[in-house]
Amino acid sequence: MKNQGKKMIAALTLIFSLLVVVQANAFEIGARGYVWFPDLKKSDLQTIANGIEGSDINAKDMLGVGNKATFSVEAYGGVGKNHISLMYTPFGYTADNVLAAALNYNGINYAAGSAVHSDLSYSMFDLRYQRDLINMENILAGFSLGGIAQIKYSTGSFKLDSTGKPEQSRSFNSFIPMIGVGAHIGILANLLEVRAQVTAGGYSSNNYSYEGMADLSLTPFPFLDIHAGYRLLQQKMDINDYKMDTLYTGPYVGLTIGF
């Protein structure tokens, strides 16, 4: 009996120790989906072909490119103070328009009055690592603040087509390193919270990005969060004689399933 009692005490001690370790190094995994409604504030494009600098093309004003909803999907995981995530966001804009003024794209001249078809499409991948610097999740409704290291990779192309001229297309691939901060503020126990993050970075005056997003999150059921917030994204690149400068701002809604 004494041996059984000792074994039971030892087993309970082991279980308690494991629970303490798990609590101290809490594990998380999940996925998020967003529907974003961005206003295309800026959309400037330019190429250099055979040493000739093309026109500075405002895709929204000159080509008639309009606003279009998009989405993001994100997978995330973490242990203790360390969190990592990968987010994918596609962009696709097509338009048919009659040029009000002449322009040059990829070495080809397009006269005023020409009917043109444009297609700007690209994908953006964000690999993000966050380490908590301040974590007071067990105080009041909870608060945390962390540092972020991020890599933004964008790949895509811009095509311009007009009757009587060969289709012109330029592709691009861009890597931009970024740093920033992320915060979480609990408002009502585990039911309502505010999340926010800001990152920025680059490696020259022509290759940089900054972005920020903040939302209010409601948790009606365990493992399920509903989000509503606002996102801003600016990206400028000058890669292989292709230049692009875009700015998006707008609201989004989202859903998270996590454990």
- The 10s digit of each residue's pLDDT in 40-98 is 999 999 999 988 899 999 999 999 999 999 999 999 999 988 999 999 999 999 999 99
Architecture of the domain spanning 27-258: Beta Barrel (2.40)
- Copy the structure tokens of residue 139: 């105080």
Whether residue 150 contacts residue 179, with contact meaning beta carbons closer than 8 Å, is answered with yes
For residue 164, report the phi and psi dihedrals to the nearest 5 degrees.
90, 0
The confidence score (pLDDT) of residue 142 equals 78
Report the pLDDT value the prediction gives residue 15, as an integer from 0 to 100: 46
pLDDT score at 47: 95
User: Within the chain, which residues score under 50 in pLDDT?
Assistant: 1, 12, 15-16, 18-24
Place of tokens 């059984």: 4
- Helices and strands (H, E) in the chain, number of each type: 2, 15
| Count of C-beta atoms within a 10 Å radius of residue 49 | 16
Per-residue confidence (pLDDT) for residue 186, from 0 to 100: 87
pLDDT at 52: 87
